[in-house]
Structure 1
Amino acid sequence: MRFIVIFVGLVAGLGGLIYGFDSGIVATTFGHNSFKLYMFGPAKKNTTLSGAIVSVYNAGQSLGSLSATFLADKFSRKYTISLAGFLAIVGGALQAGAANVGMMIAGRLVAGFACGQLLSVVPIYIAEAAPSAERGFLVGLQGMMIAIGFGFANWVGYAGAFAVGDVQWRVPLAMQIPIPIVLMVSVLLVPFSPRWLIQQDRQGEAKKVLLQLHGSENTILADQELIQIREQINLEASQGNTSWGPALRQLFSRRYIRRTCTAAFIITMGQLSGSSVIQNFQNIFYATVGFTGRTALLISGVYGMMGIIGQLIYLFVVADKWPRSVTLWSGSLVLSIMISICMALSAQYGSADAGNQTGARAAIAFIFIYSACYAVFFNAMIWVVPSELFPFFLRSKGVAFAVCIKAIAAIVLSQITPVALANVSWRYYSLFIATNLTAAVIYFFFLPETGGKSLEEISELFGDRLATEHIGNNDVAADLKDTLGSVEHVEEYTSLKNRAEKSV
């Protein structure tokens, strides 16, 4: 894998680092009494305001993702990422300098808006720049960065516990600012998406980018991909209006609704798998066995590290080696088993009067194992597959819609989870056992395998026509000859495409 390709993945993946840190830091912020005293007064508790601080972040994500549907196509993927970095800086500054709870809520809203843009644009940008054989690894770098950001947030929150006064929470919240600054600058050093350049009729620049990604020694391969992408985009344009408004409506047409629902379901399962509830429910077990205060924050830091370990396993064992569909359905079954064990242990030992610290510690251990398993099977894969499903003119819109639905699901869960935990306690786990089992069935029977195929070839799995089907046409052959410079190259391209079509 060329250095430039890895560099693109790492730079864009900083968007995942921002999202992971911003999502994780609020949990440790609520753990500081100094924050609760400052925001909620002597009672140190206000469920309405604390709920608003959490929910408005997800509301911002939904709005940010919708804005990305226009910005990513109009102004490019990388400039949209840069804009999101700027907004993340503004959001972090508002939170760190919050003079009252209203300012804090505004900061969370802006930060959520930025993260909604990043979650929508980063995976498609990496997918459009990545070689087919390494796309699972490179898009998976976003998942790796999310895990690192979340783990880093836990440790920063733990470090804040050693400070005094408002510094405990203001400095950790201010740590949201440096990463977006690095992203804003570094993203200007990476190339535009070659597919976006071709769509903008900037084919000379697109060819230079493809040569960067493939290497100057692979001129023929770069030319072949240039023509394949161009012909496919032209074919899409010839089949209907691909401008922003009509294209947005096509997401829900009979032709594309399956892909839209599949992408939304996969990304939303990041919430419905139970990961966010498991994360919140862990504190009950820590308190049961006598771990509170700094010790509880320390254990939370270890919990975050489990996600990083699982993500490393994904990158070097699973990515581009296991079929995408197998990873998702088998992972859903594994999570169902983990949650079932946690549910059983919670029922037996999940209360302060259970009197069995060994059983409660076992429940904590399985929460840790669950975190690692989620990272192995889902933390990256829920971004890899949706970024592959759509044709170019719908890609940014489809992924953004899926992120919007995910954010709405997060808002719903954040509202019902406290009530559910108070009323049904450990029985609440059964909801996520059911959702994971349902997901396993859907992935097994209805998700086509997208691994190892170009983004253009994946569309054929859903019944789209490929421009390469007409590679024998004299006009196209003449165009190939002009572009590649020799008949031998045209014949090589035709042979390669024929083999690719047979393997679909």
Structure 2
Amino acid sequence: MLAKRFENRLQGQLLVNMITTVCSIGFALFGYDQGIMANLIGADNQFGKDFNHPDAGMQGTIVAIYELTAFFGGIVVFVFGDIWGRRRTINWGIFFQLLGVVIQCSAFSVPQLIVGRCVTGVGIGVLTAGIPVYQAECCAAEDRGKLACVFNWICICGVTSSYWIGYAFSFVNGPAQWRFPVAFQAAFSAVILFMIAILPESPRWLEQHGHTAEAKAVIARLVGRDVPQDDSRVTLLYNEILTAIAIEAQEGEFSFKETFSGGRQQNRRRILLCLLAGLGCQMSGINLITQYAPKIFQDSIGMTRSTSQLVAGFNSLEYMLATIPPIFYIERVGRRKILMAGAVGQCLTMAVLAITVHHGGYAAGIVGAAMLFLFNTVFAQAWLTAPWLYASEICTLRLRARGAAVASAGFWIINFAVVEFTPSAIQDIGWRTYIIFAIFNAVFVPTVYFFFPETTNLRLEDVDYLFEVKGITAGARGEARRRIAARHDMENAATMMTVGSEGKPNEKGAAEYIEMAVTGSSEASTVGSTTGRD
């Protein structure tokens, strides 16, 4: 097995970086596929000639059918993700995506092109459901947000590359004008196939499926180079995973009904939060811009086709640069604040865009173009990364792959609706299209405030404690965080039972410590530092 040959080479931070890289390239592929059609549809080019100049409705279908089948890719992961494992899920996604690329590149009719888009969509849906889970389960709590920002930045690098490759090939005569840009995404796929072959499986999945020795070995490799399996850091992380699995096992054998049940784990609420995060992301208006930027610059603002393609390229370049700052602050600011601030900014930019498009004129067109640039900047700071990260964080180990799959499926079905109606909406209701997105962004400010718990810097096993407080808005308040701190204090107290002087149990000190931890006393840490010496 290829992964075995690289066990000694890929350890510690290098291994974490490699996992982040493969997840990043997967999202770069997703981004490239999102943007590639933007430079092809709606123009008197070779693509239009080869496919008989599809009208606005057919343009929407060609682009959006990919989103619809990506929804089914998410459902595939919901059913099979925990059976396959994280690595095999990514592999299957690539196989489907590559098959779709071959069908698209060889297309000479709209039906064949649509079939290729459908197959590619299934593959991308599988990837977007599987990648966030693999990344979240293989990195430390304090790095999850930062690393997610990194691979979303690379995702936008994919979008940017699709725009500029599409623009460059718009000057080429003949079928290569569109066939090469479509085929180029296979380069991303080849890199992913090689890298995923040399990387280990998620230790959480391994332990859940009874591969204890392999799980410990992977944890040791993730902790550092040449770290023994009996190292205290390995033992701590392994015991946390084991505890989470034991707690979830109390619920009995998993059933699909459990996914949407309430009960002790509050799975229904977790899944709804995953779906809400996806809804907020997609109804922000980002796909309106990502997949139709040249068309918007041309039809809504009045630029020529060539100028609109060039400006859309610079728009995507600015978008790529705007995704860099969150890498450095997402773990300090927190998910909730970022999402609320982003929704406010996106609402305002969409409202101004609607006003400028309604007004018309050259000056208004310049302001409208600026709003598209500003929207990408705001979105990159908030809703680009947080929803994907959030869905993989708030679900239990038992539910994580299915929760991420449901979130991905919800993401894609909403995406399909947005992409399908956008060309017709711009044509039929014009500036009012942007008002729709402004309203959705406004609604998500109170939605995040009242319903979204903060997961920043929490270990995945700790997130479960956020849902111990009952009620649909519970966990979004500070009480849940205090419960987590108290739980950690109680766990520390339990270990003190065997660390008294000369190794004798220290029951009295532990009892006092537990009492203080439960009542939230600030003296708990002081007791913890002294009881071991009684």
The interval holding the TM-score normalised by the smaller chain is 0.7 to 0.9
Q: Could you tell me which amino acid in structure 1 is paired with residue 241 of structure 2? A: I
Q: Map 1:260-409 onto structure 2 (within 5 A).
A: 260-279=271-290, 280=292, 283-286=295-298, 291-316=303-328, 318-349=329-360, 354=361, 357-409=362-414
Partners of 1:303 and 1:330 lie apart in 2 by: 22
Aligned-residue offset at 1:358: 2.5
What are the Cα deviations for residues 120-162 of structure 1, in whole angstroms up to 9, with x where unaligned? 1101110001100011011223311221111110001001112
Amino acid at match of 2:351: S
Post-superposition offset of 1:420: 2.8
In the alignment, which residue of structure 2 is the partner of 1:188? 197
Instruction: Name the TM-score, length of structure 2 as normaliser.
Output: 0.83
Which structure's CA Rg is the greater one?
2
- Name which of 48, 51, 60 aligns with 2:60: 51
- Quote the Cα distance in structure 2 between the aligned partners of 1:211 and 1:468: 23
After TM superposition, the structure 1 stretch with the greater mean CA deviation from structure 2, 49-58 or 166-175, is: 49-58
| Displacement over 6 Å in runs of 4+ | 464-470, 497-503
Mark the CA change 1:175 to 1:500 in structure 2 (over 3 Å): closer, same or farther.
farther
d(CA) in 2 for partners of 1:125, 1:251: 20
Look up the SS of the partner of 2:260 in the other structure: coil
Superposed, 1:417-496 pairs within 5 Å as 417-463=422-468, 471=491
The answer as to 2:262 corresponding to 1:250 is: no
Shift of 1:249: 1.8
Report how far residue 407 of structure 1 moved.
1.4
**Residue 139 of structure 2 aligns with which residue?**
130
Match of 2:45 in 1: 33
What displacement does 1:281 show?
6.1
Name the CA distance, whole Å, in 2 between partners of 1:421 and 1:272: 16
Q: Secondary structure at the match of 1:2?
A: helix
Q: Give, in whole Å, the separation in 1 of the partners of 2:351 and 2:191.
A: 42
Question: Any idea what SS the aligned residue of 1:385 has?
Answer: helix
Q: Distance in 2 between matches of 1:148 and 1:160?
A: 18
Aligned counterpart for 1:168 among listed residues 174, 177, 181 = 177
Measured in 2, the distance between the counterparts of 1:333 and 1:97 equals 44
Identity among equivalent positions (%) equals: 26
* Aligned partner of residue 456 in structure 2, secondary structure: coil
1:102 partner letter: P
Cα deviation for residue 424 of structure 1 reads 2.4
Contact 1:83 1:184 in 2 (8 A): no
Question: Cα offset for 1:453?
Answer: 0.7
Query: CA 1:198 to 1:168, structure 2 compared with 1: closer, same or farther past 3 Å?
Result: same
Paired residue type of 2:184: M
Q: CA RMSD in A?
A: 3.0
**Greater helix proportion:** 1
Quote the offset at 1:6 in angstroms: 1.8
Of 465-474 and 422-431, the range deviating more from structure 2: 465-474
TM-score by length of structure 1 reads 0.88
Shift of 1:415: 3.2
Alpha-carbon spacing, 1:451–1:84, altered in 2? closer, same or farther (3 Å)? same
In structure 2, the CA distance between the partners of 1:236 and 1:388, relative to structure 1 (3 Å rule), is: same
In the TM superposition, what is the alpha-carbon distance from 1:164 to its structure 2 partner? 0.6
- Greater relative contact order, per chain length (Cα 8 Å cut-off, separation 6+): 1
1:16 Cα deviation from its structure 2 partner: 0.5
Paired residues of 2:75 and 2:405 also in contact (CA < 8 A): yes
Q: Hey, what does 1:87 align to over in structure 2?
A: 96
Which amino acid in structure 2 is aligned with residue 162 of structure 1? F
Superposed, 1:13-32 pairs within 5 Å as 13-30=24-41, 31=43
Q: Partner amino acid for 1:432?
A: F
Amino acid in structure 1 at the alignment position of 2:334: P
Alpha-carbon offset, residue 305 of structure 1: 1.0
CA contact (8 A) 1:88 1:176 kept: no
| 1:284–1:144 Cα change, 3 Å | closer
Distance 1:436 1:500 in 2: 41
C-alpha contact 2:150 2:324 (8 A) present in aligned 1: no
1:267, 1:193 → 2: CA distance? Answer: 24
Report the secondary structure of 2:399's partner residue: helix
Describe the SS at the equivalent of 1:45. coil
Decide which of 205, 209, 214 is 1:200's aligned counterpart.
209
Cα gap change, 1:282/1:153 in structure 2, threshold over 3 Å: closer, same or farther? closer
- Tell me, in whole angstroms, the C-alpha distance in 1 between the residues paired with 2:331 and 2:493: 34
